[in-house]
Amino acid sequence: MIEDTDSRHIEAINRIETLSGRSLGAGLIGNVLEWYDFGLYGFLAPLIGAHFFPSSHRIVSLLGAYAGFAIGFAMRPIGGVIFGHIGDRLGRRTMLALSIVMMASATTLIGLLPTYQQIGVLAPVLLVAVRLFQGLSVGGELTGSVSYLIETAPRRHRGLAGSFANIGSEGGYILASALAAATFILLRHYGAAAWIWRLPFLAGALLGLIAWILLRRASRAGYEPDPQAAPARELPLTQALRESPRSMLLTVAFTWGYGALNYLTLVFLPAFAGRFGAIPPGTALTISTVLQIAALGLIPLAGWLTDRFIRRRHLMLLVFAAVSLSAIALFKLSEHGNVALFWVTQGSFIVLLFLIEGTAPAMLAELFSTRYRASGYSVAFNIGLGFGGGTAPLIATALIAPLGRLAGAQYLVACSVLSLVAVYMMSDRSREPLL
């Protein structure tokens, strides 16, 4: 009876013929909040290191801050398990609403925490605790919104619809990058470090309220289990592991390199250019922000192209091959201290990253059955992105001493090759009915 109900619901999803603006908006706004809040920590890592991990050695202080960054990512697979289960058993909208409330609360708390100077070692302990809650929250948001978006879209528009999740995430990053750049500029002019760094985190409360209101008005279409039916005995995650182990393993490998590219270019590279290229942090973040805004249209364009003209898998093979071949040369340009060359470096990486972000959501979500999509996709995605992406700045920084300044670029090449192999082995269900 349960399987019959699910089958009818999945068939109804595959018969959807119009793209809903409310559904696209709901999938977008939650990710603006989640990734603004989560990314802000990485952009302000030098300030967080100074206030919560003080040290006379700047690299040691930065390592402490990046360790906190990585800890948040380590919680993402657990968040994927929890929120994926909620999404498969209670529905995608419930999954998204809970993650929004948790993230907004955690980010506001970071803006209110006392520093090391005020309460000593308890300060970094409290910061790490809040980062754990952020990691749990973000573990459910992106994959939940992608599942919701592709399930409320016609088959011929799933690539475009799925890309809206990453338009939201990049919108959040852009906002976080802009406010982080403004924070560094204000500190340089006014030196009011005691409170200015807190303002971008406190703004998370307002974003959370806006996201909640918009989600409440969103369409209830998409996968919503029948509330009258008894839940299946087998957990959705168990079903995913039993029926789609290959898809889960390849998703982990793919997102490992994808995460490394994301965080080594948008978070680590501006700090790298400042440390070794003498480009002021505010300038590097401003350049990154402007380029992301200018290139944002590439995300929906890539999704649309893979709906109409090129298979998703083929585009991903081309992009990861390009990253593998160009990463070291582009990192070399950023250490010269030439602002014009940093524009070229960051611009090249952002173009490649945004092509992935427009293509990957639908490509990965289509691998999993609707019955366990939120669980299987969330857990695999967050293991790869959480460990591969979240630890990338920390690993790149730690490898500088033994391998030299370009250790981050070398690590990025290795991760990109891993993703390239995963994409080559992956099935491509572009334009096919959802399972």
Residue 215 has what pLDDT? 73
Give a yes or no: residue 387 inside a domain: yes
- Domain at 299, CATH number: 1.20.1250.20
For 266, the token pair is 């948008």
Residue 356 has what pLDDT? 93
Say which residues have a Cβ less than 8 Å from residue 340's Cβ, sequence separation at least 6.
Answer: none
Give a yes or no: residue 368 inside a domain: yes
Residue 117 has what pLDDT? 77
For the chain, 435 residues long, give each residue's pLDDT as a single digit of tens: 445 555 655 655 555 556 666 777 777 777 887 778 767 777 777 777 777 766 555 555 566 666 666 666 677 778 888 888 888 888 777 787 888 888 888 888 888 888 777 787 787 788 888 888 877 877 777 788 888 888 887 888 888 888 988 888 888 877 887 787 787 777 776 655 567 778 888 887 887 787 777 777 765 555 666 655 556 667 888 888 898 899 999 999 999 999 899 888 887 787 777 676 677 777 777 888 788 888 889 999 999 999 889 999 999 999 999 999 988 888 888 777 778 888 888 899 999 999 999 999 989 988 988 888 888 888 898 888 878 877 787 787 787 777 777 877 888 999 999 999 999 999 888 877 777
Structural domain boundaries enclosing 258: 20-220+237-425
Compute, in degrees rounded to 10, the torsion defined by CA atoms 248, 167, 39, 150: -30
Counted domains in the chain? 1
3-state secondary structure of 45: helix
Q: Which string of DSSP letters, residue by residue, matches 81-100?
A: HHHHHHHHHH-HHHHHHHHH
Give a yes or no: residue 29 inside a domain: yes
Residue 37 has what pLDDT? 72
In this structure, are residues 98 and 246 in contact, taking their beta carbons and an 8 Å threshold? no
Give a yes or no: residue 164 inside a domain: yes
Give a yes or no: residue 1 inside a domain: no
Residue 6 has what pLDDT? 56
Q: Which string of DSSP letters, residue by residue, matches 136-155?
A: HHHHHHHHHHHHHHHHTS-G
Q: Which string of DSSP letters, residue by residue, matches 194-253?
A: TTGGGHHHHHHHHHHHHHHHHHHTS---S----TTSPPPSS-HHHHHHHH-HHHHHHHHH
Residue 255 has what pLDDT? 93
Residue 1 has what pLDDT? 46
In this structure, are residues 71 and 190 in contact, taking their beta carbons and an 8 Å threshold? no
* Cα–Cα distance measured from residue 382 to residue 157, given in angstroms and rounded to the nearest whole number: 25
Give a yes or no: residue 373 inside a domain: yes
Give a yes or no: residue 333 inside a domain: yes
Residue 168 parent element (H or E): helix 158-190
Give a yes or no: residue 7 inside a domain: no
